Copies of this chain bind each other. A is one copy, B any other.
């Protein structure tokens, strides 16, 4: 495949498999979830947010080139910030407080679904263990993120009392960060993936990553949308109907 053909294939994966297509997101963005269900989403997704800097550090730990390390380091800085009260994970915790969750409880991840943790840790390990090119390619779901963030901001603002500039600051900030990050990542992948084996590796990595995202929503949907399915030990909303 030429670089253009490879890019088209990657974008096709997003069009067919990115988690903006998942029913749970339709419910979330359409205002169909109650408070407890939104809380379940926020506290499970925290596990994912908090894993991002770990997977980026795992990736940097494998890079010999100082320029590439420096470029990638910005992602850790974006999420962890440069001091207390800064960074994307802090903004996620502000969202968590906005939906009525206690910060310490969210950070403990005690209430998160086991399936969330299995999916998230599979991602960290993929980046730690697979070829560097595949590890970088697995970040390319960001190609599809701005659309979902815009949908989400509009949908949450329209439908939920908790939504305001403060609670949604995570998503606004990602609208600036993700396009910059993914521009670099996409250029890297299209430049480096020349052999058929490399291109298939890149495609497999993006499919894997869409699975990681989709599986998290499947688990949420099963546990918190369909009644009676919350697994032993997982978060039980105090008031499912509020």
Contact = CB atoms under 8 A, between A and B. Distances in A.
Interface residues of A, number: 30
The complex is assembled from copies of this chain, and their number is 2
A214 B226 contact: no
Contacts of A212: 114, 118
Given A118-B118, A226-B226, A219 B219 contact: yes
Given A125-B125, A231-B211, A233-B207, A218 B115 contact: yes
Interface string A209-228: 01110110011011100101
Main secondary structure of the interface of A (DSSP, over half): helix
A64 interface: no
Interface in A157-215: 207-208, 210-212, 214-215
A17 interface: yes
A121 interface: yes
A69 interface: no
Contacts of A229: 23, 218, 221
A122 B228 CA distance: 25
A117 interface: yes
Given A114-B214, A207-B233, 4 more contacts: A115-B115, A211-B231, A211-B233, A218-B219
Interface of A: 16-17, 23, 113-115, 117-119, 121-122, 125, 207-208, 210-212, 214-215, 218-219, 221-223, 226, 228-229, 231-233
